[in-house]
Chain A
Amino acid sequence: MSLLSIDELTFAYPGRGTVLAGISASVNEPAVIAIAGPNGAGKSTLLDLLAGQKRPQSGTCKINGADIHSMRREELCRLAAHVPQSLPGDVPFTVEEVILTGRIPYGRGLYENEDDHAAMELAIKRARLDAFRGRLFSKLSGGEKQRVLVAAALCQQAPILLLDEPSAHLDPENEAQLWELFRSLRDCGHLILVVTHHLALAAQNADRVWLLDQGRLAADGPPSEAMRPPELERVFHVPFHWHQSAEGRVFLTYGR
């Protein structure tokens, strides 16, 4: 049974063209999967569908063989934690309070219990947010906010993480640490799907790449296969330069 399976997933916004046109893929083991593609290719929409935020026109998404759209919302959230690109900037809560929202799927009691706080502590430690825990979310920088959102997803303790451009506002050091965190989570048994425009980092760090183009899966495989210049040039319309190290890691640059 696949950990995650997507079968002929199709989605269109009312009055607009098709955003996803029959995407199919299957994941059988923990991995870091980078979802790449040009703007409007359908990356965030695919993530929203996998998170149950949208319903497809046709096709199915299954986690451990169960259709996510027939699950109760809390049940799905215990299996897959979704992090959108951003939150409203004026959220009036502290870092700890934002992270603890990840425990809502585990119970609607008025107060969080000891398990909830243990999960929060672990998430804070993993996301290296100890220095920020008491600060107001609205007072953080863009990069710090994104780390807090990732920590909230970790606090949700779901085996699948769905992250929409989590490193968009991060500096190189924090970006490298975030991908390192993804790899360590994979080693702990998590499946991580990351929408990203940072192709070079995806090539170096992801186990697998889903390259989307105009709502279709143009390539699906390890970076050494899915991120070869011909595929990338066909999708992004700029020249790519590709180098693979002796250890098999892929280095990418692009531009004329």
Chain B
Amino acid sequence: MSDAVLEVIGLKTHFASKGGVVKAVDGVDLAVRRGEVLGLVGESGSGKSITGLSILRLIDPPGRIVGGRVLFDGVDLAALDDEAMRRLRGDRIAMIFQDPMMTLNPVLTIGTQMIETLVAHPRTPALSRAAMRERAVEALKRVGIASPAERLAAYPHHLSGGMRQRVAIAIALLNDPDLIVCDEPTTALDVTIQAQILAEMQTLVRGPATSSPLALIWITHDLTVVAGLADRVAVMYAGRIVESGTTAEILESPRHPYTLGLIASTPAAAAQRASTDRRLEQIPGSPPSLAHLPGGCAFRPRCARAQDDCRVEPPSVVDASGRSLRCFHPVEHAR
């Protein structure tokens, strides 16, 4: 895909631990086009956050990226030296984390933390201090923060969780990145704030174009979040992508049993069920330990459709429309 801003091919990130090697990410393929929003969905422990961190090469020992390639605008990030990678981060690729409480340094002002991002990525011609302040104020306005100029002098603990996350988003936007990786940015926030931020992200992505369209990878465990925001969805289980496709395809006609289970277990699905039984459906069993993965398909122990040939790991099959699936016995849907 020539307009892919990011291509991940066979990414493997492993962690050495006392209990063995933890294969947090074990062969992940992703692609994100310019201006596209990709939702990366999975439970805790599925490896989705590690995938995000791996893209930015923020994996620390005892973890290591042991295989695969991450192509950003065609450039293999693994081949870059540390300094070159540092220049990319915060400039063309940015990342936002889950807990806004601790993402911002409590002893530095908002202004300091915003302006240092601009200072770290100097442009030619260089921006003056005043110009940097202006950009910071603009960015805060863009994410919907009132009285932005005063906020610059504030400390993180003066702001609510929602505001802090907005500041983090503003920081990510400061240098007009091509891609932002968002690791569950709304999970720690109230539902109402969550909705607000999602709405604002939609405006940012689909709204008036900046110098280049902004792509997002939105990592979450909550399917309802991706429903409104994402163009494409990739579902992750036990370190692998088990299914991916457009949002409509995945949500309306999921083919992997795990995806089906995920959708069925949402409260909305319970509400839609014809029967009077409104109990939430759960996928039986629990996710496997990433240090001791069962051989073959990782979902096999919990899958109602599993058969003997599932003891061999299913390869990821990509069809003509770009939809991928890693399953020997997918769910069929009437066309």
A binds B: no
Residues of B at the A interface (CB closer than 8 Å) are none
